[in-house]
């Protein structure tokens, strides 16, 4: 029985990966400009940059890659946070990590725009500080899930106000920054891909290495300590990796909410709570979700676009309310 269930988990991950690859091809083809199948193949495998092929190589390919990386990072960050807090409501957006990374990134975009390559680093420190503040506010004889939600909501409102204030000082460029803050992939390029790819590989490898640690943390702090496990130290390490993954994604793509909430919950229902399988599965499904949401946002009102963060919020917020309703929070 165990062997067959293990095969099911592996099969589901492989099928999810194939669906993701198919969605990549569909997303490359769809948009405000119609692309033929021959042009799509030429754009993928030839070195041409003329006409529609140039649109594929210079505009859509970077956007698709960024969408997959951001979705994977946010979903894995959600898995890690939920393992530490042991509650399905933990999410980079709800815990204020995304807002902390956003306000710092906006500051550098407005006042020091030349440090593009260091935006993920600065975003990480912003997300980390905000996460520490929320954990501190939510701690009272242990971390209270409802306190995390309330503290996160307050920090999101406060930091959102600061981000808007900084954006106003950008003058004519404020419109583009405001669109980016809603979670837009419209302006990403190959430079962003190179930056995010390096940081993402580091963060995802760290998350996979910590999969066994997450399984132990999910047992609870007392049970972990009874096994001779330094749970406090590893909770800090796992949280830091989660903040890193969420912050680097926010620094490139803006605030994309609820991916880290919805995806881990769905994957946990399907393949169980073993983080050896849950982390890669969530990464693949998260990449699919953000890419699908971005494609929908490009197609629904073309030639205009709906930011991907708006699309994920429309679908994610009701799911969050559903979890809040059925969870036994104290």
Q: Are the beta carbons of 61 and 46 closer than 8 angstroms?
A: no
**All residues at 6 or more sequence positions from 45 whose CB lies less than 8 Å from its CB, including other chains:** none
Strand partners, 143: 139
Note whether residue 13 is domain-resident: no
Closest C-alpha to 259, from 128, 76, 101, 16: 76
C-beta separation of 322 from 329 below 8 A: no
Tell me whether residue 23 is in a domain.
no
Q: Select from 153, 13, 17, 41 the least CA-distant residue to 96.
A: 153
CA contacts within 13 A on the Cβ side of 69: 28
CB-CB contact of 180 with 192 (8 Å): no
Helix, strand, coil fractions of the chain, as percent rounded to 5: 80, 0, 20
In a domain, 52, yes or no: no
Distance CA 88, CA 207 (A): 18
CB 62 within 8 A of CB 188: yes
- From the number of C-beta atoms within 10 Å of its C-beta (0-12, 13-18, 19+), residue 62 rates as buried
pLDDT at 139: 74
Return the pLDDT at 143: 63
Q: For residue 303, say if its preceding peptide bond is cis, omega within 30 degrees of 0.
A: yes
Does residue 20 form part of some domain?
Answer: no
User: In this structure, what CATH number is given to the domain that contains residue 127?
Assistant: 1.10.3470.10
Q: How many domains does the chain have?
A: 1
Residue 39 resides in a domain: no
Q: Are 193 and 62 in contact (CB under 8 A)?
A: yes
**Residues 6+ away with beta carbon under 8 Å from 221:** 231, 232, 235
Contact between 53 and 230 under an 8 Å Cβ cutoff? The reply is no
Is residue 16, in this structure, part of any structural domain at all? no
What is the predicted pLDDT for the residue at 199?
94
As a whole number of angstroms, the distance between CA 119 and CA 248 comes to 8
Count of all residues that appear for the chain in the document: 330
pLDDT, position 109:
86
Which pair of structure tokens corresponds to residue 326?
């059925």
* pLDDT for res 168: 81
Mapping DSSP to helix (H, G, I), strand (E, B) and coil, where does residue 139 land? strand
Each residue's pLDDT tens digit in the chain (330 positions)?
556 778 889 999 999 999 999 999 989 888 777 777 777 777 777 766 677 777 888 888 999 999 999 999 999 999 999 988 887 778 888 888 888 999 999 988 888 877 777 888 889 999 988 888 887 887 776 666 677 777 888 888 888 888 888 888 766 567 778 888 888 888 898 999 999 999 999 999 999 999 998 988 887 777 777 777 777 788 889 989 999 999 999 999 988 988 998 899 889 988 988 999 999 999 999 999 999 999 999 888 877 888 999 999 898 888 877 777 766 555
pLDDT, position 273: 86
14 occurs within a structural domain: no
Q: Domain range spanning residue 180?
A: 62-326
Asked whether residue 56 is assigned to any structural domain, the reply reads no
What is the structure's pLDDT at 302? Answer: 78
């Amino acid at each position: 029985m165990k062997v067959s269930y293990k095969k099911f988990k592996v099969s589901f991950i492989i099928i999810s990966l194939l669906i993701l690859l198919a969605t990549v091809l569909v997303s490359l083809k769809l948009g405000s400009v119609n692309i033929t199948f021959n042009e799509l193949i030429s754009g993928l495998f030839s070195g041409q940059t003329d006409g529609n092929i140039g649109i594929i190589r210079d505009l859509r390919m970077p956007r698709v890659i960024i969408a997959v990386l951001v979705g994977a990072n946010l979903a894995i960050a959600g898995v890690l946070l939920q393992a530490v807090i042991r509650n399905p409501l933990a999410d980079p957006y709800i815990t204020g990590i995304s807002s902390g990374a956003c306000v710092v990134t906006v500051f550098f975009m407005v006042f020091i725009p030349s440090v593009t390559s260091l935006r993920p680093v600065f975003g990480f420190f912003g997300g980390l500080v905000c996460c520490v503040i929320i954990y501190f506010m939510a701690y009272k004889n242990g971390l209270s899930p409802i306190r995390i939600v309330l503290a996160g909501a307050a920090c999101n409102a406060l930091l959102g106000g600061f981000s808007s204030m900084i954006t106003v000082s950008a003058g004519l460029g404020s419109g583009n920054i405001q669109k980016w803050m809603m979670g837009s992939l419209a302006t990403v390029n190959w430079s962003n891909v190179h930056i995010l790819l390096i940081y993402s590989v580091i963060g995802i490898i760290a998350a996979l290495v910590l999969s066994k640690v997450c399984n132990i943390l999910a047992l609870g702090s007392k049970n972990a300590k009874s096994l001779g496990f330094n749970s406090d130290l590893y909770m800090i390490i796992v949280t830091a990796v989660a903040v890193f993954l969420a912050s680097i994604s926010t620094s490139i793509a803006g605030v994309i909410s609820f991916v880290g909430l919805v995806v881990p919950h769905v994957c946990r229902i399907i393949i169980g709570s073993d983080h050896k399988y849950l982390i890669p599965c969530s990464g693949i499904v998260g990449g699919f979700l953000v890419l699908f949401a971005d494609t929908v946002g490009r197609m629904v009102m073309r030639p205009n676009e709906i930011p991907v963060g708006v699309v994920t919020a429309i679908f994610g917020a009701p799911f969050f309310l559903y979890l809040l309703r059925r969870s036994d929070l104290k």
